[in-house]
Chain A
Amino acid sequence: MNAMHLPWSTAFLQQHSDEKVLLILRRHWLVLFRFICELIGLSLLPMSFFITWYWLDWDIEKNSLIYIITVLFFSLYYLGVWLRFYYDWFDYYLDVWVVTDQRIIDVQQKGIFNRVVSELNIVKIQDVTSEVKGELQTFLDYGNVYVQTAGEQRRFIFQQVPHPQAVAQLVIHTNNEAIKRHPAEAKLE
């Protein structure tokens, strides 16, 4: 399983002293691959302009206005393209789901200024469903995992995570273990 243990104290987690992190999940690498394809596509797009320039054999003086505007425009364009890639990667990298032996934490970065951290007591889980839809998800083994609670809390969705069935099994197993440790807490629901 594509899991990582937390070797450091993260600001979002506030890990309890007796809490063990079992899994940290991010979306599948294919999501990141899409961003890389976008970066390459947007980087190659101005090439059509340069090729046209070359074919038409435009002779532009280096101190002309058109030359200055072209250079400044494409400079800002490429800086913007790379900043966009950095933002997409940052959005991918900062969205995480953490499964511990006590809770599930959902950290979502929504834009630059909006960050949502929600958590769910592992004992309160009632239903865990994994979903793999379509050829690509089946072939690359990624999909969604839905975690439903008994109470009024909204369900958690691990979106486009690798190995969804194994993740669902781990959550169910952790839930069963937690219920064994805290039967009274589980009965409250």
Chain B
Amino acid sequence: MSIPYYIFGIIYLVGLLVLGFFLLLNIYHIVRYGFFRLNGQLVTYLVLGVMLVILIATASLLMSVDWFTEFTIF
């Protein structure tokens, strides 16, 4: 049985969706309860910025991967 590499990409994307959901919930609370002022904005933009850097780094590290390569389990 062989599995293509892109399956791991899909699992990663599912993980991203879950993390994104919780991130949006947190941002919603900050905005909803009136705390999206200077401190709230600074920390929110810092976290979003770092997350963006992590995503860009991930994409650049995996840029040369051929996602359709298959590996055999058994």
Residues of chain A whose beta carbon lies under 8 Å from any beta carbon of chain B: 8-12, 62-63, 65, 67-69, 71-72, 75-76, 78-80, 82-83, 85-87, 89-90, 93-94, 109, 112, 115
Contact B55 A75 (CB under 8 A): yes
Q: Which 6 A-B pairs have the closest CB atoms?
A: A10-B34, A75-B58, A72-B12, A86-B47, A11-B34, A76-B15
For B39, list chain A residues within 8 Å (CB).
Answer: 93
8 A-B residue pairs with CB within 8 Å:
A63-B65, A69-B8, A75-B54, A76-B19, A82-B47, A83-B23, A83-B47, A86-B23
For A79, list chain B residues within 8 Å (CB).
Answer: 16, 19, 51, 54-55
For B40, list chain A residues within 8 Å (CB).
Answer: 93
Complex interface bits, B1-29 against A, C-beta within 8 A gives 1, otherwise 0: 00001001101100110010011011001
* Secondary structure class of chain A's binding surface, majority of residues: helix
- In the complex, how many angstroms separate the beta carbon of A69 from the nearest chain B beta carbon? 6
- In the complex, how many angstroms separate the beta carbon of B32 from the nearest chain A beta carbon? 7
Q: Which of B19, B32, B37 meets A11, CB within 8 Å?
A: B32
Residues of chain B whose beta carbon lies under 8 Å from any beta carbon of chain A: 5, 8-9, 11-12, 15-16, 19, 22-23, 25-26, 29-30, 32-35, 37, 39-40, 43-44, 47, 50-51, 54-55, 57-58, 61-62, 64-66, 69, 71
Contacts A79-B16, A87-B22, A90-B26 known; A8 to B37 CB distance under 8 Å? Answer: yes
Contact B58 A72 (CB under 8 A): yes
For A75, list chain B residues within 8 Å (CB).
Answer: 12, 54-55, 57-58
- In the complex, how many angstroms separate the beta carbon of B1 from the nearest chain A beta carbon? 14
Minimum CB distance partner of B23 in chain A:
A83
Given contacts A76-B16, A78-B54, 18 further A-B contacts (CB under 8 A): A11-B32, A11-B33, A65-B5, A65-B71, A72-B11, A75-B57, A76-B15, A79-B19, A79-B55, A82-B54, A86-B47, A87-B22, A90-B26, A90-B30, A94-B30, A94-B33, A112-B22, A115-B33
- In the complex, how many angstroms separate the beta carbon of B13 from the nearest chain A beta carbon? 10
Contact B33 A10 (CB under 8 A): yes
Minimum CB distance partner of B12 in chain A:
A72
Contacts A8-B37, A79-B54, A83-B19 known; A63 to B12 CB distance under 8 Å? Answer: no
For A72, list chain B residues within 8 Å (CB).
Answer: 8-9, 11-12, 58, 62
Minimum CB distance partner of A74 in chain B:
B58
